[in-house]
Amino acid sequence: MRSTCYGAIKKGTCARPFPSAVKKSECCCANPDHGFGEPCQPCPAKNAAEFQALCSSGIGITADGRDINECALNSEICPNGICENLHGSYCCICNLGYESDTTGKNCVDVDECAVNRLLCDNGLCRNTPEVTHAPAPRATSSGQKQTPVKISMSAHLIHV
Ligand SMILES: [Ca+2]
Ligand SMILES: [Ca+2]
């Protein structure tokens, strides 16, 4: 039977309900940190026998062996990126100015200041959670205009 799936459990209370009602295995096999049902119960822990019984094909697969579309389940699964459903998993395609971490499931802000120390030549570079804005575009010796965005996206090209 279908019921509400919750994205998180905070201090024992289910939080962040997802919009559509799903089966327990769609909710709990997607992520054992979810909560399920009305009243909501925490999903069985990943190493619990109950989880093995419910999710016999492992994380990301329903009880009847179908891929769980994590992107459809949780529309906010990829902050700062776009979710792509994969068989048994998902990944996040990150927005400009963000890069995926080693799991491919989180988009983290790129520290443009660390990537390119020349970004703000005569100023103090401060990383921001978006594409870093340096002072106004300026012409290079070759006369080509370079915008700050272009600099931050191609840092290793201007080390000369
Ligand atoms: Ca999937
Ligand atoms: Ca940044």
Token pair of 45 as six digits = 């822990």
Distance 82 CA to ligand 2 centre (A): 18
pLDDT in tens, 30-49: 999 999 999 999 999 999 99
Place of tokens 């799991």: 103
Distance 132 CA to ligand 2 centre (A): 5
Q: What percent of the chain shows pLDDT beyond 70?
A: 81
pLDDT in tens, 120-154: 888 888 899 875 555 555 444 544 444 444 444 43
Instruction: Report which residue type is found at 76.
Output: E
This prediction's pTM? 0.74
Distance 97 CA to ligand 2 centre (A): 6
Residue 118 makes CB contacts below 8 A (sequence gap 6+) with 151, 158, 159
The pLDDT, as a whole number, for residue 123 is 84
H helix count then E strand count, the chain: 5, 10
| Alpha-carbon 145 to chain mean position | 34
Instruction: Point out the ligand nearest to the CA of residue 70.
Output: 1
The pLDDT, as a whole number, for residue 151 is 41
Mean pLDDT calculated for residue range 26-32: 97
Instruction: Report which residue type is found at 70.
Output: E
pLDDT in tens, 86-107: 999 999 999 999 999 999 999 9
Distance 61 CA to ligand 1 centre (A): 7
Distance 12 CA to ligand 1 centre (A): 27
Q: Please write down the long-range contacts of 77-81, taking CB distance under 8 Å and 24 or more positions apart.
A: 77/105, 78/105, 78/107, 79/107, 80/107, 80/109, 80/129, 81/107
Query: Alpha-carbon torsion 18, 20, 21, 24, what sign?
Result: negative
Q: Tell me which residue of 57, 60, 62, 63 sits closest to 71, measured CA to CA.
A: 60
For the chain, give the mean pLDDT: 85
pLDDT score of 159 more than 80: no
